Amino acid sequence: MLELRNITKIYNPGTITEMCLFDSFDLVVGDGEFLSIVGSNGSGKTSLLNIICGSIPIEQGEVLIGGDNIAKMQDYKRYNKIGRVYQNPAMGTCPHLTILENMSLADNKGKTFGLTSGINKSRRKFYQEQLAILGLGLENKLDIKVGLLSGGQRQALALIMSTLTPIEFLILDEHTAALDPNTAEIIMQLTDKVVKEKKLTAMMVTHNLRYAAEYGNRLIMMNSGEIVLDRAGQDKLETSIDELLQLFNKISIECGN
Amino acid sequence: MKKILAVLTAATLILTAAGCAGQDKTKKIGISQFGEHASLDNCREGFLQGLQDAGLKENEDYTVSYQNAGFDTAIATQIAQNFSANNVDLMCAIATPSATAAYAAAEDKDIPVIFTAITDPVEAKLDSGNVTGTSDKLPVEAQLELIRTMQPDAETIGILYTTSEPNSVSAIAEYEQKAPDYGFTIEALGVTSQSEVTLALDSLIAKDVDCFSNLTDNNVVGVLSSVLEKTNEANIPVYGSEVEQVKIGCVAAAGIDYFKLGQQTGQMAAKILKGEAKASDMDYETISEYSIYINSDSAAELGIDVPAAIADKAIEAADA
Amino acid sequence: MNNLLDLLISTLTQGLVYALLSYGVYITYKILDFPDLTVDGSFPLGAAVTAVMMTSGFNAWLTLPASLLAGALAGLITGIIHVRFKVRDLLAGIITMTALFSINLQIAGSNLIVDRNTATIFTSPVVEKILGSTSLITRKLVVSLIIVLLAKVVLDLYFKTKSGLLLRAVGDNSVLVTSLAKDKGTVKIIGLVISNALVALSGSIVCHEQRAFSSTMGTGQVVFGLATVIIGATLFQKFDIIKGTTAALIGSIAYKAVMQLAISLGLPANLLKLITAVLFLAILIFGNYQKKNAGRIIQKGSSHA
């Protein structure tokens, strides 16, 4: 479970461009939830992810994962509990390493990177099984360098890598935004499949209202650091894209966007 | 790999061609000079003159291959290895880094190495083995005496030197030891690179030294012109350590003549080439003669009257 | 022909001895993508440590681990300055390099020369026993070859370990390393430590070979290292199988061979650096041209490892 309690985030504090984004912001994401977050630019979606991952500091508040407050923890340590897929497919994999090497790295997350062999041959089969979930044939290309794969293939690999070891929480940071519509669709379906199969708690930021409506079991819309819409369960299922679009346009006009 | 082989093959051809040029009777001399610089050039020219003084004729009795390392130690190493591989009969090394490299390259081939322009061959570990040469140790006492005669009232002498040059460090030690005999105190200031020389100079000028004495320190000599510009402005005379420095504008110097030093080295080399002596049996030589050089223009500019005692025996180094 | 053989042996030895430095630069520049100027200081550091130990009567072989350790420390300092104090990579290297200039002189006193009677690693009793009465240049070649190949094998093995894999990952995509819950800063420090240890080892062996330490012997070594790594990578970019360390090793030998060729041709020393620069440029242009040609056949690939 993820809890954000009383978060205050001020950009450029003490300067003329000071801007308070979050003022006593609260959010609870329960176990097994697949939460989609939508909102216009500047609404605070990405800041939210960065606050959870420790990429940006906060002025006040608590970030709890599984009950532990990680607000003061260094960013890299938080990833012991968090998996993250980025917008840019290049961020989730190492282009100069082979698929096998990339998988081995991901497989060793949370353990020591010592002087034992980097690749555990007995795990090869496991990696192939994991990659087979994607249905992209990557399981037969283990010794190919990731730089030779297409953006979609890399993103799919990044998805598998970020969920290879047990994590408390998966963050999907506009992870289909840089892909062509077809590939985006495939990756979205894969994401859904992976999240369901591995029973993950996930948080997806997206600009695609259709994805937000179709996938996941909870949806929130943000505006200026506040949640303006929060639907879960049956309510979420009944939320149409048109309704979302109307609300989205309304806020955007109010903001002058 | 093919490309590398091609390069090496090309090298092979060129070197074989070069190797065939020398015949048995003609001795091959390899001269490795650390860099191009007036004193070192004088040494080399003197060396070649010395060989001829001893009755050897170029191209008949000996051939010369000359290389300079552009003040790069790694290049000096490769030059020495080149000579060694070509089995020269004698290596002449000018300045310490070249001598060290030459000696290392000749270590087990027993090629005699003859060096020059080295202040302290003992410190440089070049005092035993199949190696000999000449030392350009500064005539410190003569210099102190010269300064005393030129400036009877002077009390402190400023000296700039590079802390990493053993030649300079040992010269400073000698200056400090002998200065009291002539009523001087030494204000020595060390630098680690050429760019620090001007800073150190400003600091010594600010300490009101009565004059500067210059060593053969490479870093300092390299920027001597700009040093002189500043000291002239402050009206402080600078004494050099050899003729080239006086030519540039130092007031005077009790210095050795590098051409003569080279000449003496050339004569030693001739003995080795003729088979009259072995480098391993010959002690290194120190030039005992020195000359007094003077630059009347600089002296006049600084308002120094050159005492007759000096003017009589001094060699004028100012451009006419 | 004997002359030529000697010259080939000597040149090869030079290339080998400096190849250790190239390995180091390969790690920082190619793997970590970190332009590390510490090299100009850690190279003479190895030589200074070696010269002092040799003149104080230590066993020649002990100087090698000692230099490795000293270099590792230098790399650690650059790493801490960069990672913990958030100083830019170039500046962090410059700071350590500058400090090392003084430290090297402090260690050695001044430029030092090792007495002819002191046994170096090339003249040590062990080597004499094994290699017998072979000429010194042959012994130098054999000993350097063994050390350099040993270092290469150890490095190549290391790159295949988990730690080595993480090191390669950090230069490739440091975000991923963070995602793996590892501190990318620590990984960079490890890379700098290994790199500078190798560079100092190179300095140590050069000191054995030359029996001398000079405070200025580090000047330009970074440039040399970069040149060899890039030459190596350019020559072998078509061959994915060739390891980066092999490319660096051959780059180093090629560089020294070209210098020797220039000397043998009697090119004026004052122009040697210019010739090097021109040659360097030519190789790079040639490399780009090759890449363009290769690009037509296969899609944009990569040559690493």
pLDDT, tens only, C201-210: 999 999 999 8
CA angle (B293 as vertex; B289, B299 as ends), nearest 5:
155
The whole-angstrom separation of Cα B240 and Cα B221 is 9
Tell me which residues of chain C have a C-beta less than 8 Å from any C-beta of chain A: 158, 160-166, 168-169, 172-173, 175-184, 299-302, 304-305
Confidence category of residue C300, pLDDT binned at 50, 70, 90: very low
Task: Give the pLDDT confidence of A198-252 residue by residue, as tens digits.
Answer: 889 999 999 898 999 889 899 999 988 889 899 988 888 888 888 888 888 887 7
Give the residue carrying structure tokens 């370990």.
C161
Q: Is C274 on the interface with B (CB under 8 A)?
A: no
The whole-angstrom separation of Cα B82 and Cα B32 is 10
pLDDT above 90: percentage of residues in chain C: 61
Neighbours of A (≥3 Cβ pairs closer than 8 A)?
Answer: C
The whole-angstrom separation of Cα B251 and Cα B305 is 11
Q: How many CB atoms lie within 10 A of CB B276?
A: 9
Q: Does A114 contact C166 at a Cβ distance shorter than 8 Å?
A: no
**pLDDT of amino acid C299:** 41
The whole-angstrom separation of Cα C181 and Cα C164 is 16
B98 contact residues in C (CB cutoff 8 A) = none
C 203-262 → B contacts, CB under 8 A: 209-212, 214-217, 220, 224, 235, 250, 253-254, 256-261
Is C47 a residue whose pLDDT tops 80? yes
Q: Greater confidence, C163 or C287?
A: C163
Least confident stretch, B55-59, C179-183, C264-268: C264-268
pLDDT above 70: percentage of residues in chain C: 93
Return the sign of the alpha-carbon dihedral for residues B264, B269, B271, B277.
Answer: positive
Q: Can you say how many angstroms the Cα of residue B47 is from the centroid of all Cα atoms in its chain?
A: 13
A175 contact residues in C (CB cutoff 8 A) = none
C177 contact residues in A (CB cutoff 8 A) = 76
Report the residue from B78, B96, B169 with minimal CB separation from C263: B78
**pLDDT of amino acid B107:** 75
Q: Does A90 contact C179 at a Cβ distance shorter than 8 Å?
A: no
Q: Within chain B, which residue ranges are assigned CATH 3.40.50.2300?
A: 2-136+259-286, 140-256+290-316
Which residues constitute the domain of residue A167?
Answer: 2-255
Confidence category of residue A256, pLDDT binned at 50, 70, 90: low
Residues whose CB falls within 8 Å of the CB of residue C31, separated by 6 or more in sequence, listed in order: C167, C168, C171, C191, C244
Cβ–Cβ pairs < 8 A, chains A and C: 94
Give the residue carrying structure tokens 């289909």.
A176
Q: What is the mean pLDDT of residues A3-17?
A: 89
User: How would DSSP label each residue in chain B?
Assistant: -HHHHHHHHHHHHHHHHHHHH--SSSEEEEEEESS--HHHHHHHHHHHHHHHHTT--BTTTEEEEEEE-TT-HHHHHHHHHHHHHTT-SEEEEESHHHHHHHHHHTTTTT--EEEEEES-TTTTT-SSSSEEEEE----HHHHHHHHHHH-TT--EEEEEEETT-HHHHHHHHHHHHHGGGGT-EEEEEEESSGGGHHHHHHHHHHTT-SEEE----HHHHHTHHHHHHHHHHTT--EEEEEHHHHHHT-SEEEEE-HHHHHHHHHHHHHHHHHTS--GGGSPPEE----EEEE-HHHHHHTTPPPPHHHHHHPEE-S--
Is C279 a residue whose pLDDT tops 80? no
Task: Give the pLDDT confidence of C225-248 residue by residue, as tens digits.
Answer: 998 998 888 888 777 667 889 999
CATH of the domain at A132: 3.40.50.300
Q: What is the mean pLDDT of residues C56-75?
A: 97
B 35-74 → C contacts, CB under 8 A: 35-36, 65, 67-70, 72-74
C277 contact residues in B (CB cutoff 8 A) = none
Q: Does B77 contact C113 at a Cβ distance shorter than 8 Å?
A: no
- The domain total for chain A is 1
Q: What is the mean pLDDT of residues C51-59?
A: 95
The whole-angstrom separation of Cα C75 and Cα C91 is 14
Q: Does A94 contact C168 at a Cβ distance shorter than 8 Å?
A: yes
User: Tens place of pLDDT for every residue, chain B, 320 residues?
Assistant: 555 555 555 555 555 445 444 445 799 999 999 988 788 999 999 999 999 999 999 999 999 999 988 888 889 999 999 999 999 999 999 998 899 999 988 877 889 999 999 888 888 888 888 999 999 888 999 999 999 999 999 999 999 998 888 888 889 999 999 999 999 999 999 988 888 898 899 999 999 999 999 998 878 988 898 899 999 989 999 999 988 899 989 999 998 889 999 999 999 999 999 999 999 999 999 887 788 999 999 999 999 888 988 888 899 888 75
Give Rg (Cα) of chain C.
Answer: 19
Q: Is A73 exposed, middle or buried (0-12, 13-18, 19+ CB in 10 A)?
A: middle
Q: Do chains C and B touch (3 or more CB pairs under 8 A)?
A: yes
Report the residue from A76, A96, A106 with minimal CB separation from C302: A96
Beta bridge partners of A222: A39, A227
Q: Greater confidence, A70 or B7?
A: A70
Q: Does A118 contact C181 at a Cβ distance shorter than 8 Å?
A: no
Neighbours of B (≥3 Cβ pairs closer than 8 A)?
Answer: C
Is A101 a residue whose pLDDT tops 90? yes
Q: Does A115 contact C184 at a Cβ distance shorter than 8 Å?
A: no
Q: Does B165 contact C110 at a Cβ distance shorter than 8 Å?
A: yes
C 114-173 → B contacts, CB under 8 A: 114-116, 135-137
Beta bridge partners of A219: A36, A231
C22 contact residues in B (CB cutoff 8 A) = none
Q: Is C99 exposed, middle or buried (0-12, 13-18, 19+ CB in 10 A)?
A: middle
Residues whose CB falls within 8 Å of the CB of residue C277, separated by 6 or more in sequence, listed in order: none
Q: Can you say how many angstroms the Cα of residue A8 is from the centroid of all Cα atoms in its chain?
A: 22
Question: Under a CB-based contact definition with an 8 Å cutoff, are residues B133 and B118 in contact?
Answer: yes
Question: Under a CB-based contact definition with an 8 Å cutoff, are residues C143 and C122 in contact?
Answer: yes
Q: Does C116 contact B125 at a Cβ distance shorter than 8 Å?
A: yes
Q: Min CA distance, B258 vs chain C (Å)?
A: 22
Q: Which residue type occupies C277?
A: A
Residues whose CB falls within 8 Å of the CB of residue B94, separated by 6 or more in sequence, listed in order: B31, B32, B33, B34, B40, B43, B44, B47, B115, B116, B117
Residues whose CB falls within 8 Å of the CB of residue A179, separated by 6 or more in sequence, listed in order: A89, A151, A152, A155, A187
Q: Does A118 contact C160 at a Cβ distance shorter than 8 Å?
A: yes
Q: Min CA distance, C301 vs chain A (Å)?
A: 6
Q: Does C260 contact B10 at a Cβ distance shorter than 8 Å?
A: no
Nearest CA in chain A to C155: A115
Q: Is C293 on the interface with B (CB under 8 A)?
A: no
B 68-87 → C contacts, CB under 8 A: 68-70, 72-75, 77-79, 81-82, 84-87
B67 contact residues in C (CB cutoff 8 A) = 263, 266, 269
Q: Does C4 contact B85 at a Cβ distance shorter than 8 Å?
A: yes
Cα B263 to Cα B42, B122, B218, C127, distances in angstroms? 9, 22, 22, 42
Return the sign of the alpha-carbon dihedral for residues C210, C213, C219, C225.
Answer: positive
E strands in A102-243: 169-173, 202-205, 218-223, 226-232
pTM for this prediction: 0.85
Among B67, B78, B132, the residue to mutate for chain C (most C Cβ within 10 A):
B78
The whole-angstrom separation of Cα A51 and Cα A35 is 17
Q: Which residue type occupies B183?
A: G
Tell me which residues of chain A have a C-beta less than 8 Å from any C-beta of chain C: 74-80, 83-84, 86, 90-97, 101, 104-106, 108-110, 112-119, 145, 147-148, 162
**pLDDT of amino acid C303:** 39
Give the residue carrying structure tokens 């681990």.
C65
Q: Min CA distance, A106 vs chain C (Å)?
A: 7
The whole-angstrom separation of Cα C240 and Cα A96 is 11
CATH 3.20.20.210 fits B2-136+259-286, yes or no: no
Three-state SS sequence of chain C? CHHHHHHHHHHHHHHHHHHHHHHHHHHHHHHCCCCCCCHHHHHHHHHHHHHHHHHCCCCHHHHHHHHHHHHHHHHHHHHHHHHCCCCCHHHHHHHHHHHHHHHHHHHHCCCEECCCCCCCCCCCHHHHHHHCCCCHHHHHHHHHHHHHHHHHHHHHHHHCEHHHHHHHHHHHCHHHHHHCCCCHHHHHHHHHHHHHHHHHHHHHHHHHHHCEECCCCCCCHHHHHHHHHHHHHHHCCCCCCCCHHHHHHHHHHHHHHHHHHHHHCCCCHHHHHHHHHHHHHHHHHHHHHHHHHHHHHCCCCCCCC
C173 contact residues in A (CB cutoff 8 A) = 90-91, 93-95
Region B140-256+290-316: CATH code: 3.40.50.2300
Q: Is B207 on the interface with C (CB under 8 A)?
A: no
The whole-angstrom separation of Cα B46 and Cα B62 is 16
Q: What is the mean pLDDT of residues C113-141?
A: 87
B31 contact residues in C (CB cutoff 8 A) = none
**pLDDT of amino acid B20:** 46
Backbone angles phi, psi at B54, to 5 degrees: -85, 5
